[in-house]
Chain A
Amino acid sequence: MLKYLLKRLFQMVPTLIGITLISFFIIHLAPGKPTDVLADFNPKITPEARERLEKYYGLDKPVIVQYGMWLRRIVKLDFGESFSSDRRPVMQKLWDRKQPLIDRRLFITFMLNVLSMVIILLISIPIGITSATHRNSLYDRITTTTVFIGFAMPSFWFALLLMMLFGIHLGWLPISGLKSMNYAVLSPAGQVWDRVSHLILPVFIASFGGLAGDSRYMRSSMLEVIRQDYITVARAKGLTEKVVIYRHALRNALLPLITLVGLSIPGLIGGSVIMESVFGIPGMGQLLFMSVMTRDYPMIMCVLTIGAVLTLVGNLLADLGYMLADPRIRNQ
């Protein structure tokens, strides 16, 4: 087990280098330079000053040399300084140690994604199982229809609709940010509720799309499993339906879902740009959006790399989960 884990971690290195190499080339070869943006804000900048700046950032060197320099710093976990006017180290912008944990950008995005993932699994697995065991019932039809609509629903539109209903029409929930203006003067309990109430809509909407996919997948995987001979055997032994489904069938039906969860991680992380911009949440996605607009190369590369690392770690966890659930693979 440990050997397998080490092997997998070791294999992640070339993949990560490949990801950063591709991202780096795409970003640096795309037309337009960060100094163009600078020149837009300050038209008086002379060509000499521009050249000096480009030299300072190493932008005058060939891309492959720039990548080598970048890679050498990354090994020491130094992602460089932001090109934006504050010149802060990009890592500090994502993970500001001076701020409490729950206000750090990377943590906010991470927490939102983990929360929605947990909710997706908690709801979609039971829905998938029950609609498979009650195939073609009214319940199955209702869930299948909901799933189809959920698949097709643009998340940002759904967000707008719920913001209108719960935020503006009913006035129950806040529609923007992670805490209210008067957060500092609230009681401790009030502060907790304030944070929770800000999370309800974003987490619900982030979960909704994934819910559709995963419950559908769970349903078909369960249908596949209960057709197998060993399930018929279990039934013939006189076991109750509950034992047959939850002890015999569920374990095998869960296997494909674990793979799917691993594959859905990049989508979730990528989607946080949309979520965070609709709800004005100060997370990693919002930061990426802002840095893309100002061509802040070090910041963009940092977010892309972290997104890729999260994806790879998520895939690894999915594979480990697969091993835990399937003794055939575990004992190989």
Chain B
Amino acid sequence: MGIPRNPLRKLMFRRLMKNKLSVAGGIIVAALFLVAVLAPVISPYNPNDIDRFHILEKPGIHHPLGTDDLGRDILSRMIWGARISLSVGFVAVGIATLIGILFGAIAGYYGGWPDMIITRFIDIMLSIPTFFLILAVIAFIGSGIFNIMAVIGFTSWMGVARLVRAEFLTLKERDYVLAARALGASDMQIIFRHIMINSMAPVLVSAVLGIAGAVLVESALSFLGIGVQPPTPSWGNILTLGKDNIEIAWWLSVFPGLAILITVLGYNLLGEGIRDAIDPRLWESERK
């Protein structure tokens, strides 16, 4: 987040910190980062060590969250799984945001036929049950982690594109843009230096909320067996084992799902918090 430099951002930052729920969300996300970065240090076992004498062991002193059907330590697998969850979320949303900004900026700034084509394309993409398409493509191109990131990214940019387009439509009519043009600024300068900077706030919110969505899609794909492949640990593929052993090993289902729930909750709280902090309409109602 950095140190806020201008007074407006300072105000927004202060408002964000005042909202307890969004601070809680921020803490969850930060904790997840730490766990992912420190995985080699804090995980008690090697996540792939098979121990055939301790198969499907209940949570206990040696294995706080139990072991799976190969005797692997669930806590360690979940700690390493945090890396998958975190990286998929960030890269997928990064791709989606870049595509969304590009399409949205072109459509909103130039209008006319580029706008017509892009808007049509967005409508079409929004009418495809995206999960069907993701499923088909992943099954075809293989389930490597980069493929998953790319496919989620390429199928979730429409919201950002619409947002950016709407921002561009209003901002390009502002006097300061006219002033910039009168001073001889090129299209590229106006798009990137003058309009885009001012349309980033809603994009940030939608990106943070988008990470939550991407985490859910990745875990669903891994759960279905076409996402991250074992032995690489991911929360979704531990849950697959949970389903296969549902009658004998509750811990395989409960803990990874809880981790997904808390992670998604963290991103959602943070995203909503940022949205409230940057919404000027809410400032006024607070002052009253």
| A interface residue numbers (CB < 8 A to B) | 15, 18-19, 22-23, 26-27, 30-32, 148-149, 151-158, 160-161, 163-164, 168, 175, 263, 266-267, 269-271, 273-274, 277-278, 288-289, 292-293, 295, 300, 303-304, 307-308, 311-312, 315
Asked if B224 is at the interface of the complex by the 8 Å CB criterion, the answer is yes
Pair B260/A270 contact, Cβ less than 8 Å? no
What's the tally of chain B residues with a CB closer than 8 Å to chain A? 42
Beyond known contacts A27-B137, A156-B220, A288-B132: 6 more, CB 8 A cutoff: A168-B247, A270-B131, A273-B132, A274-B224, A304-B133, A304-B136
Given A157-B257, A292-B136, A311-B127, A152:B265 Cβ within 8 A: yes
Asked if B126 is at the interface of the complex by the 8 Å CB criterion, the answer is yes
Given A149-B265, A160-B257, A273-B224, A26:B137 Cβ within 8 A: yes
Stretch binding the partner chain, chosen from B53-61, B173-181, B198-206, B238-246: B238-246
Pair A266/B130 contact, Cβ less than 8 Å? yes
Pair A151/B128 contact, Cβ less than 8 Å? no
What sequence of 0s and 1s flags, for each residue 218-258 of chain B, a beta carbon within 8 Å of any chain A beta carbon? 01100110000000000000010011001100100110110
Given A274-B224, A312-B127, A157:B260 Cβ within 8 A: yes
Given A18-B120, A293-B139, A161:B132 Cβ within 8 A: no
Pair A308/B127 contact, Cβ less than 8 Å? yes
Pair B124/A160 contact, Cβ less than 8 Å? no
Please measure, in the bound complex, the distance between the C-alpha atom of A158 and the C-alpha atom of B132, giving whole angstroms. 21
Asked if B171 is at the interface of the complex by the 8 Å CB criterion, the answer is no
What sequence of 0s and 1s flags, for each residue 180-203 of chain B, a beta carbon within 8 Å of any chain A beta carbon? 000000000000000000000000
Name the distance in Å between A16's Cβ and chain B's nearest Cβ. Answer: 8
Pair A151/B239 contact, Cβ less than 8 Å? no
Residues from chain A with a CB closer than 8 A to the CB of B220 are 154-156, 274
Name the distance in Å between B176's Cβ and chain A's nearest Cβ. Answer: 30
Pair A30/B137 contact, Cβ less than 8 Å? yes
Pair B137/A163 contact, Cβ less than 8 Å? no
Please measure, in the bound complex, the distance between the C-alpha atom of A22 and the C-alpha atom of B256, giving whole angstroms. 35
Please measure, in the bound complex, the distance between the C-alpha atom of A308 and the C-alpha atom of B269, giving whole angstroms. 32
Name the distance in Å between A136's Cβ and chain B's nearest Cβ. Answer: 13
Asked if B34 is at the interface of the complex by the 8 Å CB criterion, the answer is no
Asked if B212 is at the interface of the complex by the 8 Å CB criterion, the answer is yes
Cβ 8 A contact of A270, one of B130, B216, B264: B130
What sequence of 0s and 1s flags, for each residue 151-185 of chain B, a beta carbon within 8 Å of any chain A beta carbon? 00000000000000000000000000000000000
Pair B224/A277 contact, Cβ less than 8 Å? yes
| B interface residue numbers (CB < 8 A to A) | 120-121, 123-133, 135-137, 139-141, 212, 216, 219-220, 223-224, 239, 242-243, 246-247, 250, 253-254, 256-257, 260-262, 264-265, 268-269
Pair B261/A149 contact, Cβ less than 8 Å? yes
Please measure, in the bound complex, the distance between the C-alpha atom of A167 and the C-alpha atom of B246, giving whole angstroms. 10
Pair B261/A156 contact, Cβ less than 8 Å? no
Name the distance in Å between B53's Cβ and chain A's nearest Cβ. Answer: 27
Pair B131/A154 contact, Cβ less than 8 Å? no
Please measure, in the bound complex, the distance between the C-alpha atom of A288 and the C-alpha atom of B138, giving whole angstroms. 13
- Across the two chains, which residue of chain B brings its CB closest to A159? B243
Residues from chain B with a CB closer than 8 A to the CB of A273 are 131-132, 135, 224
Pair A315/B127 contact, Cβ less than 8 Å? yes
Pair A289/B224 contact, Cβ less than 8 Å? yes
Among B129, B219, B247, max chain A CB count under 10 A is at B129
Please measure, in the bound complex, the distance between the C-alpha atom of A32 and the C-alpha atom of B132, giving whole angstroms. 18
Name the distance in Å between B120's Cβ and chain A's nearest Cβ. Answer: 7
Given A161-B253, A270-B129, A288-B132, A154:B265 Cβ within 8 A: no
Please measure, in the bound complex, the distance between the C-alpha atom of A152 and the C-alpha atom of B133, giving whole angstroms. 23
Among A154, A292, A308, A311, max chain B CB count under 10 A is at A154
Please measure, in the bound complex, the distance between the C-alpha atom of A158 and the C-alpha atom of B257, giving whole angstroms. 8
Name the distance in Å between A36's Cβ and chain B's nearest Cβ. Answer: 10
Cβ 8 A contact of A23, one of B123, B133, B139, B243: B133
Pair A307/B128 contact, Cβ less than 8 Å? yes
Please measure, in the bound complex, the distance between the C-alpha atom of A289 and the C-alpha atom of B223, giving whole angstroms. 13
- Across the two chains, which residue of chain A brings its CB closest to B248? A168
Name the distance in Å between B123's Cβ and chain A's nearest Cβ. Answer: 6
Residues from chain B with a CB closer than 8 A to the CB of A292 are 135-136, 139-140
- Across the two chains, which residue of chain B brings its CB closest to A278? B243
Residues from chain B with a CB closer than 8 A to the CB of A266 are 126-130
Residues from chain B with a CB closer than 8 A to the CB of A289 are 135, 224
- Across the two chains, which residue of chain A brings its CB closest to B223? A156
List 16 A–B pairs whose Cβ atoms lie within 8 Å, in order of A's numbering: A15-B124, A22-B124, A27-B136, A148-B265, A152-B265, A153-B261, A154-B220, A157-B253, A160-B243, A160-B253, A160-B257, A168-B246, A270-B132, A274-B223, A295-B139, A303-B132
Given A161-B257, A307-B128, A154:B219 Cβ within 8 A: yes
Please measure, in the bound complex, the distance between the C-alpha atom of A290 and the C-alpha atom of B268, giving whole angstroms. 33
User: Which 3 A/B pairs are nearest by Cβ-Cβ distance?
Assistant: A270-B131, A157-B257, A30-B140
Residues from chain B with a CB closer than 8 A to the CB of A157 are 239, 253, 256-257, 260-261
Pair B268/A151 contact, Cβ less than 8 Å? yes
Please measure, in the bound complex, the distance between the C-alpha atom of A19 and the C-alpha atom of B123, giving whole angstroms. 9
- Across the two chains, which residue of chain A brings its CB closest to B262? A152
Cβ 8 A contact of B239, one of A160, A270, A307: A160
Pair B261/A154 contact, Cβ less than 8 Å? yes
